[in-house]
Amino acid sequence: MEKQLLNLLGNAFKHVLGGILHALRAVALAFIIVAILAAAATEGVGFALTKQFPPSGPTHLAAAALAIAFGYAAAITVAIEEILRTMIKAFEYVVQEAEKLGKEAIEEAEKFGRAAVTDAGRLGRTVAGDAGALGHTVVTDASALGRTVTGAVSGVVGGIAHEGRALEQGVASHLPGHHGGSSTTASNAPTLPSGN
């Protein structure tokens, strides 16, 4: 963009410089033509009034003064006209180039906007996919953790229940009247004499 702007300024400067050179040529040409015509007219009027050829010194002096004055006036008029014409052309050129740059900038902005929308869509799909994968991983890990905790709790409860039964049997075996087996009870029982 900066390169195009510098190119625009460079071309506008070339137009202005070309216009100034054209104006200088036009000013010089207008000065010379009008000075010659004013001098010739003054000499002609001097000859017509005095009927003297060549006209006298004061006529030449008046012709030179009028030639310079009219030539200068014509040159200034042409210079102003040429400068204004050059400025108008330069402004027209700058406006045309600015319109071109504006159109190019709008096209670039549209391309950038389309690319941004496309990239945002891709990013959104990627984020959604990553979030889904992360959610699936979290659910899977939570399920595995739940099974592990459930297994551990079941093992602890089962171990406690087993130990509780073992303790109950151990305590019960030490209680009076409770014996572990029927053979022990029969052998330890007192024998009664037969009733005669």
pLDDT in tens, 152-173: 767 767 777 777 777 777 777 7
Would you state the pLDDT for residue 118?
81
pLDDT of residue 68: 92
**Separation CA 41–CA 47 (nearest Å):** 10
Q: What is the pLDDT of residue 19?
A: 76
Q: Go through 21-55 and write b for each residue having 16 or more CB atoms within 10 A of its CB, e for each that does not.
A: eebeebbeebbeebbeebbeebbeebeeeeeeeeb
The band of 4, judged by pLDDT with boundaries at 50, 70 and 90, is low
d(C-alpha 62, C-alpha 38), whole Å: 10
Q: How far apart are the first and last CA of the chain?
A: 137
- pLDDT tens digits, residue range 80-123? 888 888 888 878 877 887 788 778 878 887 888 787 778 777 87
Reported as a pLDDT band with limits 50, 70 and 90, residue 180 is low
What's the mean per-residue pLDDT of the chain? 77
DSSP 194: P
- Say if residue 17's pLDDT is above 70: yes
Is 95 in contact with 29 (CB distance < 8 Å)? no
